[in-house]
Each structure stands twice: as structure tokens, then as C-alpha cells.
Amino acid sequence: MQCATCTGPVNIAVVKYWGKRNEKLILPLNSSVSVTLHQNELRSKTTIAASPNFTKDQIWLNGVEEDINNSRLQAVISAVKRRARKRKSDGETNTRLKWKLHIVSENNFPTAAGLASSAAGYGCLVYTLAKLLNVKGELSDIARQGSGSACRSIHGGFVTWDKGTNEDGSDSKARQIAPHTHWPEMSVLILVVSDQTKHTSSTAGMQTTVETSELLKHRLSGLPNKENQITEAIINKDFKTFAEITMKESNQLHAVCLDTYPPISYMTDTSHQIIRLVHQYNNIIEDVKVSYTFDAGPNACLFMLDSEVSRFYSLVKHFFLPDNGHSTVQGLPITEQTLHTDEIQKFKLSKQNGSVKYVIHTKPGPGPQVIEDPSESLVDDMGWPKLMSEKT
């Protein structure tokens, strides 16, 4: 039996991908830009075992066996194997290509709740299988075939996914704008409003939008300019420009979703209240210090520099977090700031304690990582999920 274990990151788009020109190859209508989040706080972990003793390919996600015959899963597994064959791998790898696979994956964050779990999952799966089969070089074009945004999770830091123009998708892949160390002052707060599976999947939502939204054409015409502007802002560490484009992009994505017929609404009243808090905060300071973005779900991803974290978190705690005395911060620690009554009264918001479940504090982070420690493997000595072994 041969094994490989890797971890892969979540990425959050600041110029959004929404809509495909080719459903099968997952080719987007527009290029997109994202920030890869640190795996210390949000990550997918995958172990892939290959053995001549396995009777069939199998996959387990978060302790539950899933359908290995899923078309997207099969697409990425086949693509990695094809690349291994093309690169004339050594004899041992060629033998391994014929063995059946046991794939075990787990996330340390809510799955299918609008926190980019499919991006982390597919990015990590492709990277791990490539390590197992000794495939080197470009992998983002393969990860894209599992989940479009997964191609961006192949890289750390700040990333662009070029939409490409080739019919076969060969030029639709991701590249790094800057490493995660480029902007060390950047912090990210994720406000978890719901950890439940979203009612409309991104795949279904995009398809309906492409078929029915009249606003989509207008959106697509302005995106190349936004992509160039935000790329320049990242390189120059221009937070104000980065923040404003990020917020406008999020607003426009959700406007297009509402223009879909029937309309799709991923955000909740709490999501809209968080937006109000961010804009009121920036207006009171008379500068753009905090920015929000929402993917296909109600959870807010907030960008700010380190200097704002303590004060802004204290406001989030006052207005939204459970008032039960328990810690509501996961990830990097936050020093809470005492808020004075006159400061709170500047905000025209009603308290909704408990409407945000908890906060994850993280930063930009690196791309997928190989885990060498065998004790970190998710399979036992026979190649079965450890969780399953423990239950029996």
C-alpha cells in the first residue's frame, strides 16, 4: 500500500466567479481574483491510499462514504492519472496507476455552508493524488474540473484565475499575484451566520443565472477593469481600493442572484445587518477600514488591517454574538476592546445577540502542504478510514 496525506486551503473570491461558458469543463465566463486563507484555521485534509488489495475505488468525506462515481470526482482522478502516464513516470508509479484508491477527506469547518469547502476539498484531493502518483507541475487546470474555484486553492496568497479562451480549457488556470507574506498586516474575520447546507448549490445557482439574468451581461462587461484595479491594489497594498472593489463586487454578485428567475437569495437579515455595521463603521471613521464579501451563503468574510481587529470585533460581539459568557472566537486570538456608550450610540443598529454563531480570525496563507508525519494519516494500516476503524 502507498499513501499520501496533504492539506489544502480555502480561498475567498474578491472578484467573483459566477457563470460558466462550458459546464462540463467548468470554464468561467469571467476571470476572478481571490485570497487564500491560512490553513491553521480553515483547511481540508486528505489521505489517499493505493493498494493492489483494494477491490474498488472508495471515498469518505467527514466520516461518511460518498459516491465515487460522481462525474466531477471521476474527471479529476482520470486527469491526474492521464498526466502521470504522459510524463513517463517510473515503473513503480505506472504499477500504482492500476491500483484502486481509498480517498479519505475531512474539513475543519462547515461543509456546503458557503465557506468554499468544495474549493478546498477538490484542490486538496488533486494535490494529494498528484503527490501519490509523482505528478509535478501545473495542477490548477485539473482542480478546476472538480470545482471551478478549486483551481485558486492550488496557490497561496493572492491569486487570479484566468478565464482563458481556448475551447479545451487548456489556458483556464490559476496563477499567484503575490505570496501570503506580501501583505502581513491583512487580517480576515469570518462571521458564521449559519453552518447549515445552503438551499441552492453554487452549481445550480450559476446555471440558472446564466439562463435568466439580464443583469449578468452588464456585470461581465465591467469585470476586466475591476480585475486589473484590484490586482494593482494588492501589489501596492492599497487597502482602500481593495476594500471598495471587494464590497461592490459582492453586492453585484448578489444583485445578479436576485435578478435570476426565480430569484436566488443566499444572504439573510443578519448578513444585511453586518453590511450596515461595516458601512457605518467606515462612515464614522471617515475612511474605508473594513470590507465585506459574501460568497453563495450568508456568512460574512471581512477584510481589515490588524489595527482594526480589536475594535471591530468588539462591535460584532456587542451587536451579534451570543451573550452567554463563552468564547466566540476561533483561530487567532483577539484582544477585546471596551466600548463606551457614546461610541455604541453612533451605530444605528439593533442588537441581535446570537444571530452570528461565532467568529473565525485568520490571515492570508500558503497553498497546499504535504504532511510527512504518518500519525497524521486519515487511514489505518489496512487503508481504511481511521474514524471507521475506531467506531468498530
Please report the pLDDT score of residue 165 as a whole number: 97
DSSP-based three-state secondary structure for 274? helix
Q: What pLDDT, on a 0 to 100 scale, did the predictor assign at position 116?
A: 62
Q: For the chain, which residues score pLDDT lower than 50?
A: 112-113, 391-392
DSSP string, 85-111: HHTT--HHHHHHTTSEEEEEEEESS-T
3-class secondary-structure state, position 372:
coil
CB 301 within 8 A of CB 295: yes
Burial 1-38 (b: 16+ CB within 10 A, else e): eebbbbbbbbbbbbbbbbbbbeeebbbbbbbbbbbbbb
pLDDT of the residue at 253:
97
Question: Which stretch of DSSP H or E encloses residue 8?
Answer: strand 2-9
User: What would the grid cell of residue 46 be?
Assistant: 486528505
Q: Which domains does the chain have, with CATH numbers?
A: 2-180+369-391 (3.30.230.10), 186-362 (3.30.70.890)
Instruction: Name every residue whose Cβ is closer than 8 Å to that of residue 353 and which is 6 or more positions away in sequence.
Output: 319, 320, 321, 322, 323
**Sequence-ordered alpha helix ranges (H) in the chain:** 71-86, 91-96, 117-132, 140-143, 202-212, 215-236, 239-259, 269-285, 306-319, 341-344, 386-391
* pLDDT score for 90: 62
- Residue identified by cell 442588537 is 351
Inter-CA distances, 265 with 193, 201, 253, 258, Å: 14, 11, 11, 6
Length of the chain, in residues: 392
| pTM summary value | 0.94
Can you give the pLDDT at residue 108?
86
pLDDT given for residue 392 in this prediction: 41
